[in-house]
Structure 1
Amino acid sequence: MRETTITLPGFGPGTTHALTVLAFGDPDARPHVHVQGGLHADEGPGMLAARMLADRLAEAEREGRLTGCVTVVPAANPIGLGQFVLGDHAGRFDLYDGRNFNRDYPDLAREVAARVGPSLGDDPEANLRLIRSALAATVEARKGPTPSDALRLALLRLAAGADVVLDLHCDGEAEVHLYTCPAALDRILPLAALTGCRAVLVAEVSGGNPFDEALTRLWSDLGRELPDHPVPHGCASCTLELRGRSDVSRELGARDAAALFDYLVHMGAVAGDVTLPPLPCDPAPLAGSEALTAPVPGLLSYAVAVGTEVSAGDVVAEITDIGTGRVSAVRATTSGVFYARPATRIAEVGKRLGKIAGAVPFRDGLLLSP
């Protein structure tokens, strides 16, 4: 294991942040898989899974089983880890400017295409190497105007050359689910099977330029920008949501780390054999995912548990008016698995109350929550 520390600027004079990176195997070996947890720094399940995966990889490396390269960033957001408001951790949004730490990653396709276009030929593998080199140079040339932008670029530099990128998150309360792009789906579905995903949400553009999409969609865009040359799809990435915020335990972390390790074996980064279980769900369009919202304020209770298959018209939640006692039912308008909901139980008007993975697209625009 090679441990390195990347120093990031802080907001105040004389302040810095430290990003720890753990690398396993030959840095030039393929496949290269990048795993990170805690980009939303108030989400613990992914950080624990990444840390426990690193422990397993260290053991496998000692046994001589590393055939590829794996980089692990157990805590990908040191800025957010230090943000507290009146005793509550606030790791999803940058308190300096309000931006989501998992949004606003740069769209680099045109810059990379301009840099590499004249050098491409008819050999897909040679083009792949040229594009990765151009991508690295493009990211390296960028400057981050704020510490959180510097963090975004540091994470892109670490992951840009990877064949597969796994960004570990969680929801408020949820079943395991993931988000990915169509071009990455074939390489990501084995991960969905191994982790027992109850929903696999697919979109070419989900809105807001999240980390995983900035890496995967780049290659699809390059194929369109450079139509006269073969451009392989060089990176498959996903956002893997490991249940809810309170689902942090050594038992769950070990289970998730084991599933991630088996995926690395399946991908050929670690020597061994693994049998894929059946996929627990069919992929669904993110545009078909219903985001239930509160029509009135009040105290929130749920009529169904996460993981329940619901039908259009079913009561999913109830909101009690604390003044009158009136109960307002919130019904599904989409059929599918109720896969996530918030951890809080006081509703304001417009509060997102949960998500249902439907099979029929009906939304457009920004498909992800803020």
Structure 2
Amino acid sequence: MHIQRTPLVSTSIGTHREFVSFHFGTPGAGQKVYMQASLHADETPAMLTAWRLKHRLIELENAGRIQGEVILVPVANPIGLSQHVLGQFLGRFELNSGHNFNRSFPLPQAGALMERIGTQWTQDADTNTRLLRRAVCEMLSEVKPKNEFESLRREMMVMAADADLIIDLHCSLEATMHLYTSPASWPAVEPLARYLGASGVLLAADSGGQSFDEVHTQLWNEVRALLGDTAPLAAPNVALTVEHRGQRDVTYEFAEQDAEGILDYLTHRGVIAGEARALPPLNHPATPLAGSEQFIAPVSGVLVHRAAVGAHLKAGDPVFDIVDPITDEVTTLTTKNDGIFYMRRAIRFVIAGAPLGRVTGAIPFRTGVLIGA
């Protein structure tokens, strides 16, 4: 194992943070895997899973079982970890700018990449894939970040841009295990959904947020469209987000279970030598993110949860009650979808317009930006 400590741009006099990555295996000897945890710094179940993964990867490397390269970043957001205001941990947004740590990730423009590669394109898809990845990494390395936030984003992008597999470990507020990925990545990701026991898988080619995992596959699609029939390009980088249940689901048992599921998947892909565990059944088919029903509070009041997280709901089932203790009015919200109640907010009193939770759905009906702030 090799530990790399990359200093970030210092925000002010007397401060210094670094981006710490753990490197296993041999670069160029096989597939490259990049995994990071808690880009939203207050999503700590992911960090504990990554901690467990690190120790298991050390064991596997010592046993000579890592075929290729695995990079693990257990703490992807040292900036967010330091953000505490009046005792509240604020790890989702960067306080200097207000930016969500996992939105609007910058990648080189497809046209600029095409221009840089120029006449080097060939009729071999694997060669073109290497050309594209190298060009992306070069252009990212040339970026001069102006502040700590930009330098953090650049470092993780540089490390991940040429990976065959990118796994971004997160969690929701109160949730069941679920995944986000693109339709192009889903066939390759499906075994991981099985090993992790995911109750929901949400698919979108472009959710509108330019999240860390999504921008990699989006870039591939844009370059492919510009290339047309002139040059073949191999399958895009496989990229996904894993939501390790809810923020309070921090246990050794969950961390062990999830780490072993990821390692089973890496064994299944041939990144780890050995025989992979038999694939468990898929708990629930993948559904379009555009088909997930978003619940919004129509009134203010005390929120009562009528359905358990992870429940299989039928259209018309009650999901929430909102109780007005002054007028005695009870407003019941029911689902229009048959699907999995996969996440909800960790609030028990709501104002009108507050987001409450989501249920998967098989039929897309939403357009525009599909993910929250």
Bigger CA drift: 337-346 or 137-146?
137-146
Secondary structure at the counterpart of residue 315 of structure 2 = coil
Give the conservation status (yes or no) of the 8 Å contact 1:92–1:100: yes
Structure 1 distance, partners of 2:225, 2:189, is: 22
Structure 1 distance, partners of 2:116, 2:198, is: 39
Superposition map of 1:227-306 within 5 A: 227=228, 228-274=230-276, 275-306=278-309
Correspondence for 2:366: 363
Q: What RMSD in Å do the two structures reach over aligned CA positions?
A: 1.1
Superposition map of 1:161-240 within 5 A: 161-227=162-228, 228-240=230-242
Secondary structure at the counterpart of residue 185 of structure 2 = helix
Correspondence for 2:33: 33
Bigger CA drift: 113-122 or 86-95?
113-122
Q: Offset of 1:10 from its aligned partner?
A: 3.3
Amino acid at match of 1:267: R
Q: Offset of 1:160 from its aligned partner?
A: 0.6
Bigger CA drift: 187-196 or 116-125?
116-125
Bigger CA drift: 108-117 or 214-223?
108-117
**Residues 125-178 of structure 1 deviation map (CA, whole Å, 9 limit, x = unaligned):** 111111111111111112333321211111101111110000000111111101
Structure 1 distance, partners of 2:146, 2:326, is: 48
Give the conservation status (yes or no) of the 8 Å contact 2:40–2:80: yes
Correspondence for 1:10: 10
Structure 2 distance, partners of 1:365, 1:26, is: 42
Identify unmatched segments of 5+ residues in structure 1. Answer: none
Give the conservation status (yes or no) of the 8 Å contact 1:220–1:233: no
Q: Offset of 1:361 from its aligned partner?
A: 0.3
Give the conservation status (yes or no) of the 8 Å contact 2:293–2:360: yes
Secondary structure at the counterpart of residue 127 of structure 2 = helix
Q: Offset of 1:27 from its aligned partner?
A: 1.7
Q: How many corresponding residue pairs?
A: 370
**Residues 4-63 of structure 1 deviation map (CA, whole Å, 9 limit, x = unaligned):** 111112322232211110010002222111111010000011111111111001001111
Give the conservation status (yes or no) of the 8 Å contact 1:11–1:147: yes
Secondary structure at the counterpart of residue 182 of structure 1 = coil
Correspondence for 1:110: 111
Correspondence for 2:157: 156
Bigger CA drift: 268-277 or 36-45?
268-277
Give the conservation status (yes or no) of the 8 Å contact 1:183–1:220: no
Question: 1:217/1:368 Cα in 2 relative to 1: closer, same or farther (>3 Å)?
Answer: same
Give the conservation status (yes or no) of the 8 Å contact 2:184–2:236: no
Secondary structure at the counterpart of residue 184 of structure 2 = helix
Structure 1 distance, partners of 2:341, 2:77, is: 29
Correspondence for 1:354: 357
Q: Offset of 1:3 from its aligned partner?
A: 0.5
Q: So what's the TM-score if we normalise by structure 2? A: 0.97
The answer as to 2:52 corresponding to 1:52 is: yes
Give the conservation status (yes or no) of the 8 Å contact 2:317–2:335: yes
**Residues 294-316 of structure 1 deviation map (CA, whole Å, 9 limit, x = unaligned):** 11111111111011111222210
Amino acid at match of 1:158: M
Structure 1 distance, partners of 2:209, 2:111, is: 18
Give the conservation status (yes or no) of the 8 Å contact 1:193–1:278: yes
Q: So what's the TM-score if we normalise by structure 1? A: 0.98
Secondary structure at the counterpart of residue 358 of structure 1 = coil
Q: What percentage of residue pairs aligned between the two structures are identical? A: 42
Q: Offset of 1:330 from its aligned partner?
A: 1.2
The answer as to 2:131 corresponding to 1:130 is: yes
Structure 1 distance, partners of 2:351, 2:130, is: 51
Secondary structure at the counterpart of residue 101 of structure 1 = coil
Correspondence for 2:20: 20
Correspondence for 1:73: 73
Structure 2 distance, partners of 1:210, 1:113, is: 23
